A and B are shown apart, each in its own frame.
Chain A
């Protein structure tokens, strides 16, 4: 018997998670990925440290700024942000979100401590002279004592440990939601990490265009960033394939749900095509840029476009996963409409988060010698 069904009256609910959630997941993923990118140049030894040091400078700047701004976006996604303290008075061991609320401040503190220790030698040197910057450096260096390398390494490893905690909780928080089959797959947390790495490397390349101090190191940074993008994209493609295969072998309803939405909804079709085109374009462009870079040609003037595209891929993946998936009604026919309003729950929220991040970046750039030796030498002639 073939029958067609019309749902006569369909309530339309607003999406419960706002674009703020996308901003949080985006910034926190860049934060932990940039933290990992900063490690070889900061706590590594010998040649490895030397090769990755220029990259580490930018990565430290990125991890700090993103770590500072991400929790703001998370707070804004609560409908009762002033009640955030309930997370700590009513901690709940059964909830991944509650576990996250404990991990996040610990992560934030450890990142602050790590970046501060890494920047401290430069801060101590910057105390010389009078004026605004030296006085800030005086306050921020907290005295003359020297932190040993062991302390820096320990703090870096503690921050890394919490970074893995953040990866785990942000992924698990979404993946355990059985009610949304599109989220309910173990491949999703891995994909969050790999696309986060893509975006972080993209941001490194983008900032490298305008903020790196040394001309020579910049080509190296680009090459390293492009390599990271290529590898992370390759792993992402493998993960996506594995997800797809797991769907066909009947291990996951996630794939079937995705195909159903792509079949039924033109927005989804467009998004799927867009994702594929953006992913392939990024991979090809990154490959071309790396090839040109390896042939000792300068890619400085256009690699930033690859960086921008990498950021887009990382952000759009989160938009797709967190926002578009919410448009799938669980009971009723059709799809809820994804309306991005102008106000703080929509467009202003998105722009505002990026604005806040930019402000944090510029303030640090203005007052803190994050570029280390090179910056100090430049300032003192």
Chain B
């Protein structure tokens, strides 16, 4: 574990910020619990990857982003979307596959996004987002912008070729991107020790001569400070970096996985003793925030999550007439006109009638 010199912190958190961050962590926890219930009630389909236990890593890192910095993640992305400010209603509606979901009901749990907040999506193929993050950083450089990209990935992604290729490109081109490895110790059911020849993932940055740092991912401040420092170096000095946040996911890989085939219940219980929510709350109380205020906050967040579920339930399904919306850019209709004669049933009815490019 890298020892963080707290006197070197890039800024001082005031209690107000800290309070808001705790609120967000608590919101993510309750949101994930609600998502699991709704999945089991068959109101959410597909894959549903929960992040309970990882709230400090998520909120700490996102808090360090400047307003115009960019974010891109893998598929365990509910918490990142919420932390970046996507309203819980829009995230829950997406999980329900509804028209006012943040991806219009077309992406679901794995493909949340909000371009207005600089969140360029949850991506479903392991490590697929890394080269894309690199390209986003390249674009920032080309446009002369002093912004950075935070690219989240899981520990399972670091043995893909795309990891190596992206880190190398980012390093040789001096791109403003921080690759944040959320190391929850298991890539699906395979522990980091079984999957990685160098399980100290942050050390791999050395192979590209860029900075690598490991933090206690359950310590909100430590995550935020380290992320802030690395993002600042990316923005101001165009230095890419690897940040490894050690954390733990309480639930299985997805809701369909009980999460007990490859780890023990004791291990999970032991990790719960260091729950980032409890730690953060204790820290707030130690700074003089009265417990009653925190209790009230928790009740408020629970109501907010419940309201998101009610909103999602009441939202309309996307129109089937719009099946082909977005597949091609507006104005492409004419290019496809001459493909129609004799086209097979699937295409004829659903692509051409479905409205290209809307």
Q: Do A and B bind each other?
A: no
Interface residue ranges, B against A (CB under 8 Å): none
Interface residue ranges, A against B (CB under 8 Å): none
